[in-house]
Amino acid sequence: MPKEYVNKLKKINHSDILQPASITILGYVECNYYSRTSMSKKYKIILKLIWWQIHSKYRHFKIWLLNPSRLLSWFLIILTISFFSLVALGKGYFDHLNVAELKNQILPTEWATTTGIYFAVSGWITNAIVTMRNSVKQHSINTLLQSRISKVYLDEGTRALTVIAAYTVDNPAPANAIEGHKDQDAVDYVLNYIEFLAVGVKHGDLHEDVMKDSMRGIVNRFTTITMPYIKEVRNTHGPRTFQNLLWLRKRWKG
């Protein structure tokens, strides 16, 4: 498949996997290359699209699932369910299921020791979860504080605002109003900073509620006004450019 068509197909929004199949496949049908290919190649094209979108969804789910504090929370839930299931089994709540042999095999002989171990492990996990969350919150506050006192951030932000000062969220800046402007690098700086925040939020390194309460208005307003420019940059450099920024904007929008 010619490279230009592959790039065009990759630009289809990966978040649209849950939309009707007709909409998902529409991006391929619109390509001239698609209409000129054999049926077997058409199936391959469609399967490749589905694979791209599933891979994107799986990656986001994996990031969400493998968050350390979330993993510990799941472990604590499983441990608690297991412990109280043993207690219920020992009290005879499952005797109607003919589990006498199972009781002899898995019930502990020293309940005091078992209970002590459960509460000790649960206490350690709970403390670890609280420590992790407090650490992430503190890191988020430090990140915000450093940006507020950073001369570079303030100077670049001021220059970027002068570029878009004449535009609003209802009247976004055309791409050519930013591209080639003497302060274009300042706009790029702010967009890259928001991309950095989005990566931190997505991977759990920044506390989303803290960042959202502080940065939501700035993120939504700046990205909306510069959206034509963002689209132009993505058309030039590929669909992965600013993908985390757009993910954060969609998540915080409204």
Give the pLDDT score at 29.
Answer: 46
More confident of the two residues 128 and 105? 128
- The first and second tokens of residue 112, run together, are 């005091």
More confident of the two residues 45 and 129? 129
Mean pLDDT of 183-187: 93
More confident of the two residues 70 and 122? 122
The 3-state secondary structure of the chain, one letter per residue: CCHHHHHHHHCCCHHHHHCCHHHHHHHHHCCHHHHHCCHHHHHHHHHHHHHHHHHHHHHHHHHHHCCHHHHHHHHHHHHHHHHHHHHHHHCCCCHHHCCHHHHHHHCCCCHHHHHHHHHHHHHHHHHHHHHHHHHHHHHHHHHHHHHHHCHHHHHHHHHHHHHHCCCECCECCCHHHHCCCCCHHHHHHHHHHHHHHHHHHHCCCCCHHHHHHHHHHHHHHHHHHCHHHHHHHHHHHCCCCCHHHHHHHHHHCC
pTM of the model: 0.67
pLDDT digits (tens, 9 = 90+) for 68-114: 788 888 899 999 998 888 888 877 777 777 766 777 777 777 788 88
Percentage, residues of the chain above pLDDT 90: 36
Instruction: Tell me the residue type at 137.
Output: K
Give the pLDDT score at 23.
Answer: 38
Give the pLDDT score at 124.
Answer: 93
Percentage, residues of the chain above pLDDT 70: 73
Give the pLDDT score at 69.
Answer: 80
Lowest mean pLDDT among 20-24, 139-143, 200-204, 206-210: 20-24
Q: Binning pLDDT at 50, 70 and 90, where does residue 17 land?
A: very low
**What mean pLDDT is reported for the chain?**
79
Give the pLDDT score at 21.
Answer: 39
pLDDT digits (tens, 9 = 90+) for 21-60: 333 444 444 444 445 555 566 667 677 767 666 666 666 6
- Residue 220: burial class (beta carbons within 10 Å; 0-12, 13-18, 19+): middle
Strand partners, 168: 171
Give the Cα-Cα-Cα angle 133, 137, 142 (nearest 5 degrees).
145
Q: Distance (Å, rounded) from C-alpha 9 to C-alpha 25?
A: 10
pLDDT digits (tens, 9 = 90+) for 188-198: 999 999 999 99
